[in-house]
Amino acid sequence: MATYYDSVSHTFSEYLLVPGLTRKENVPDKVSLRTPLVKFKKGEEPALSLNIPMVSAVMQSVSGDRLGVALAKEGGMSFIFQSQSIASEAAMVAKVKNAKAGFVVSDSNITPDTTLSEVLELVKKTGHSTMPVTEDGTPNGKLVGLVTSRDYRVSRMNGSEKASSFMTPREKLVTANASATLSECNDLIWEHKLNTLPIVDDADHLCYLVFRKDYASHKENPLELLDDEKRFMVGAGINTRDYKERVPALVNAGADCLVLDSSDGFSEWQADALEWIREKYGDTVKVGAGNVVDRDGFNYLAEHGADFVKVGIGGGSICITRETKGIGRGQATAVIEVAKARDEWFERTGEYIPICSDGGIVYDYHIVLALAMGADFVMLGRYFSRFEEAPGEKLTVNGAYVKEYWGEGSNRAKNWQRYDLGGKGKLSFEEGVDSYVPYAGFLHDNVYMTTYKIRSTMCNCGALTIKELQDKARLTLVSSTSIVEGGAHDVIVKNEDKSYNK
Ligand code: IMP
CA separation for the pair 330, 15 (Å, rounded):
12
Q: Closest residue (by CA) to atom 21 of ligand 1?
A: 319
Question: pLDDT above 70 covers what percent of the chain?
Answer: 96
pLDDT at 98: 84
Residue 64, ligand 1, Cβ within 6 A: no
Angular region, 15: left φ>0, alpha ψ -120 to 50, beta rest: beta
- The residue with greater pLDDT, 154 or 384, is 384
- DSSP H helices, 31-85, are 65-74
Please tell me the residue having the least CA distance from ligand 1 atom 17. Answer: 407
Looking at residue 215, its pLDDT comes to 66
385 neighbors 403 (Cβ within 8 angstroms): yes
pLDDT of the residue at 500: 52
pTM: 0.85
457 CA → ligand 1 middle, Å: 26
Ligand 1 atom closest to the CA of 379, numbered from 1: 10
Residue 223 main-chain phi, psi, to 5 deg: -90, 0
The answer to whether the CB of 410 is under 6 A from ligand 1 is yes
Catalytic: 356?
A: no
Amino acid 502: pLDDT: 59
Check residue 489 and give its pLDDT: 84
Task: Pick out the residues of the known binding site.
Answer: 261-263, 312-314, 316, 319
Find which of 2-16, 182-196, 287-301, 312-326 is predicted with most confidence, using mean pLDDT. Answer: 287-301
pLDDT, residue 426, reads 75
Q: Which residues pair with 54 in a beta bridge?
A: 378
AA letter at 256: D
Pocket test for ligand 1, best of 318, 380, 434 (most atoms within 8 A of CB): 318
Contact in structure between 408 and 352 (CB atoms under 8 Å): no
Residue 33 alpha carbon to ligand 1 centre in Å:
24
Pocket lining: 360 vs ligand 1, CB cutoff 6 Å: yes
Query: What distance lies between CA 349 and its chain's CA centroid?
Result: 31
Question: CA angle 239-245-250, nearest 5°?
Answer: 75
Cβ(408) – ligand 1 distance below 6 Å: yes
**Which has the closest alpha carbon to 456: 34, 16, 53, 30?**
30
DSSP assignment string, 416-450: HHHH-SSS--S--S--B-EEEEE----HHHHHHHH
Q: How far is the CA of 182 from the centre of ligand 1 (A)?
A: 38
CA distance 461 to 365: 13
Q: Which secondary structure element, helix H or strand E, spans residue 471, and what is its range?
A: helix 466-472
CB-based contacts of 219, cutoff 8 Å, min separation 6: none
Neighbours of 23 (CB within 10 A): 11
**Is 185 a catalytic site residue?**
no
pLDDT of amino acid 501: 53
Residue 50, classed as helix, strand or coil, is strand
Per-residue pLDDT at 284: 97
Name, in order, each residue with C-beta under 8 angstroms of 187's C-beta and a sequence gap of 6 or more. Answer: none
CA 183 – CA 478 distance, rounded (Å): 53
DSSP 8-class letter at 208: E
As a whole number, mean pLDDT of residues 345-370 equals 98
358 lines ligand 1 (CB under 6 A): yes
pLDDT higher than 80, residue 134: yes
CA distances from 309 to 28, 314, 321 (A): 29, 16, 20
Beta carbon of 261 within 6 Å of any ligand 1 atom: no
- Residue 204: closest CA among 171, 181, 163, 165: 171
Averaged confidence pLDDT in the chain: 92
Find, among 358, 392, 407, the residue nearest to 55 by Cα.
358
The catalytic position among 66, 382, 386, 418 is 418
Q: What is the pLDDT of residue 117?
A: 93
pLDDT for residue 366 = 98
What is the CA(450)–ligand 1 centre distance, in A? 20
Best probe residue, ligand 1, of 319, 355, 403, 406 (max atoms within 8 Å of C-beta): 319
